Amino acid sequence: MADTMKWVMNHMPKTEDKNLPIMSVEEVKKARTFHQSFPQYKETPLTKLPKMAAYFGLGSLFVKDESYRFGLNAFKVLGGSYSMAKYIAKETGKDVSELPYDVLTSDKLHDEFGTATFFTATDGNHGRGVAWAANKLRQNAVVHMPKGTTQTRLENIRKLGAKVDILDLNYDDCVRQAAKEASETPRGVIVQDTAWDGYEEIPSWIMQGYGTMAMEAAQQLNEQGIDRPTHVFVQAGVGSLAGAVVGFFSNLYKDNPPVFVVVEAEAAACLYKGAAAGDGKPRIVDGDMQTIMAGLACGEPNTISWDILKNHVKMFVAAPDWVAAQGMRMLGAPIKGDPAITSGESGAAPFGALSVLMTSDDCADVRKELGLDETANVLVFSTEGDTDPQRYKNIVWKGLDK
């Protein structure tokens, strides 16, 4: 544990917040209604950890467990499926509310829309979600994966009928390759959960799809007697998920938003670097970005999300691999009386960061500044289960941290 966890408080200048309406309660409600039309839809658990909360000195602690999402072991399918539905709706002159699952998969709509080819780049979960959605909607999918991707993640995508390969490129270069091929393919569409100048509509739909998870969590908290979370810990790669979660809760609790903490892999901490620079401009991390947190190994921020995050996030964290590994182990073997949660490398990063903040003497001042005490009701997102089962066993069972 030679590498220490780093954090920076957000002192960036505020902007006009033009992208916040993307994650309005009304837009997210529309996405959730769409997801509820799927026969595979079921709310994922919001797991309460009372013993761990007491150990940390918190009022309450909840973990949103996305390992149960649509049988795919990760949340990403929410964005891929919704964005594809929105695209088909736009192409056929409909509103997405007119395309629930049974209509979207019907012969009639297939005859009307035909077949498109959806291209994407992925470290694993996003590509699997796009492939799954394309399979269900009778569309084509092409998926590029960066070097270092495990064969297990590739096979999970191939089983769903997509064309998939591992390129000798990092994640961001795979995105550029997917975008190039989509532009050269008849009826080719790039479905990517990051945004850049000129490519913002589909990423905004993906973020709205992710909002289903946040809306579920808010309602589940209410059912457990919590009016609102005081703190939300969420992970970030390009920042699409973080922007979706922060944007939704900022709209939902407009008058009294939670304290938001965003956690990245140290090897790809582009948001943290932007916050540390303090001028509000995004920063880019390039190179191989070696980390066990494959889903967070993204070095170029989503431009839409960056605008939301710099206006609403309290603190950005750059977490070394051991932080995620610690989170995996603590969730997998919690204090007696709390339920165990299977959380993968990227999934456990926020919980790992919270555990460091709450147990390290070096973090006393930051705990105080964030208000992490016995009055805090903390919500943490675990975005994936053991999506790479062997790596999970190596880390949790064998203590290898890699």
pLDDT tens across 357-372, in order? 999 999 999 999 999 9
pLDDT of residue 1: 46
How far apart, in whole angstroms, are the C-alpha atoms of residue 237 and residue 293?
Answer: 9
Q: Which residue, among 352, 351, 382, 371, has the nearest Cα to 257 in the 3D structure?
A: 371
The domain limits of the chain are 6-75+202-396, 77-198
β-partners of residue 121 are 144
CATH fold of 6-75+202-396, please? Answer: Rossmann fold (3.40.50)
Tokens of 185: 């393919």
How far apart, in whole angstroms, are the C-alpha atoms of residue 179 and residue 189?
Answer: 8
Confidence of residue 98 (pLDDT cuts 50, 70, 90): very high
Mean predicted confidence (pLDDT) in 86-91: 97
- How do residues 292-319 score in pLDDT, each as one tens digit? 999 999 999 999 999 999 999 999 999 9
Count of CB atoms situated within 10 Å of the CB of 360: 13
Q: Which 3-state string (H, E, C) describes the chain?
A: CCCCCEEEECCCCCCCCCCHHHHCHHHHHHHHHHHHCCCCCCCCCEEECHHHHHHHCCCEEEEEEHHHHHHCCECCHHHHHHHHHHHHHHHCCCCHHHCCHHHHCCHHHHHHHCCCEEEEECCCHHHHHHHHHHHHCCCEEEEEECCCCCHHHHHHHHCCCCEEEECCCCHHHHHHHHHHHHHHCCCEEECCCCCECCECHHHHHHHHHHHHHHHHHHHHHHHCCCCCCCEEEEECCCCHHHHHHHHHHHHHCCCCCCEEEEEEEHHHCHHHHHHHHCCCCCCCCCCCCCCCCHHHCCCCCCHHHHHHHHHHCCEEEEECHHHHHHHHHHHHCCCCCCCCCCCCCCCCHHHHHHHHHHHCHHHHHHHHHHCCCCCCEEEEEECECCCCHHHHHHHHCCCCCC
How far apart, in whole angstroms, are the C-alpha atoms of residue 343 and residue 325?
Answer: 10
pLDDT of residue 95: 97
Confidence of residue 63 (pLDDT cuts 50, 70, 90): very high
Mode of pairing for the β-strands spanning 259-265 and 231-235: parallel
Confidence of residue 124 (pLDDT cuts 50, 70, 90): confident
pLDDT of residue 401: 78
CA 240 to chain centre: 7
- How do residues 206-243 score in pLDDT, each as one tens digit? 999 999 999 999 999 999 999 999 999 999 999 999 99
- How do residues 142-153 score in pLDDT, each as one tens digit? 999 999 888 999
- How do residues 246-282 score in pLDDT, each as one tens digit? 999 999 999 999 999 999 999 999 999 999 999 999 9
Q: Which 3-state string (H, E, C) describes 153-176?
A: HHHHHHCCCCEEEECCCCHHHHHH
pLDDT of residue 69: 97
C-alpha triplet 216, 321, 246: angle, nearest 5°? 30
Tokens of 127: 């590509």
pLDDT of residue 3: 86
**At the top level of CATH, which class does the domain 77-198 belong to?**
alpha beta
C-alpha triplet 373, 305, 346: angle, nearest 5°? 60
Confidence of residue 2 (pLDDT cuts 50, 70, 90): low
- The mean of the pLDDT values for the chain is 96
Tell me what percent of the residues of the chain surpass a pLDDT of 70: 100
Residues with a known catalytic role: 76, 123
Q: Residues for the chain: how many in total?
A: 402
Task: Tell me: pLDDT of 402 over 80.
Answer: no
Which is more confidently placed, 3 or 252? 252
pLDDT of residue 140: 97
Q: Quick one: CA dihedral 335, 340, 342, 346, positive or negative?
A: negative
